[in-house]
Structure 1
Amino acid sequence: MSEITECGWGKTVIKRIADKVREVSGFDPKKTTDFKSVVEAFGGKVSEDKDVFFGDTIKVHGKLDFTIKLHPLATTERQRFTLAHELGHYFLHSRQGDKPLQAFRLGTSMAEQEANYFAAELLMPESMFREDFNSLSNDLDQDGKISRMAQMYHVSFTAASVRLTSLNLL
């Protein structure tokens, strides 16, 4: 297994890959609540492991052959982001299984940032997210708007807040 190295493709290419993943899997960020089915659509398996904080979270063996581990006590929203993030490693860093790899929890490397961007774009597509945010009532305060977006896209308050900030909407 090789260590993860950045793909270096840039946000435009990563966005296109996330768009294609949504298209191929039929994933609708606002309607599909079971994200495990998206992982399975690309040959992935999802397992729960209470020790995941100390070990690997994705192991890619080859094409259509990878496993993502989740902590069983994580919230549904957290598990959803983790699955999308690890799917990012599969598409961006293993090149859909061409390059076997394993990733460990935590890290701030460029590869981790790329996987985070992929997950954000997959779960909260920029154009759709902007449109929904701009249609929110002006009666809501900032936290109310963040909460509403988090609920709408089935993500955590933190994920919605980071996405809104990165899109300069907050």
Structure 2
Amino acid sequence: MGDKDDIEIPVYTPFFGVMGATSAMVFSAFGAAYGTAKSGTGIAAMSVMRPDLIMKSIIPVVMAGIIAIYGLVVAVIISQGLESTGYTMFSSFIHLGAGLSVGLSGLAAGFAIGIVGDAGVRGTAQQPKLYVGMILILIFAEVLGLYGLIIALIMSGKA
């Protein structure tokens, strides 16, 4: 058998790495957009009756935006690893897995943040004692995206 350099690399190998970067950004952005939109509608509905709570209720929107940053970080790391020569199928599959890891985790986290943020700000307008509970649940939802980011970074280091 030949050396590692003798292995022929298929021309479509970079496709999987590019799809990893794309899925990291797209799915994370979908999650962040849903979380922002869903929380935003709750804030708008709540602010009609309690306009003094608008700034306090922005937290779910900020947390949803952070999800997109996770995807951006991984997409940039994957993009820097893409090479025109010497990019193996192993590296491309690792990059695809890393992108899907952070992307789909970000999508799930964004959905959770949106639903909790919407219900939480509406509930807080009626009962202010709910605020701390809402923040705790939002943190647990955000951590789902962070788990995906951690795994993606570990996987990217293996490529």
TM-score scaled by structure 1? Answer: 0.27
Greater share of residues in helix: 2
TM-score scaled by structure 2? Answer: 0.28
Name which one, 1 or 2, has greater alpha-carbon Rg: 2
Choose between structure 1 and 2 for higher RCO, CA contacts under 8 A separated by at least 6 residues. Answer: 2
Greater share of residues in strand: 1
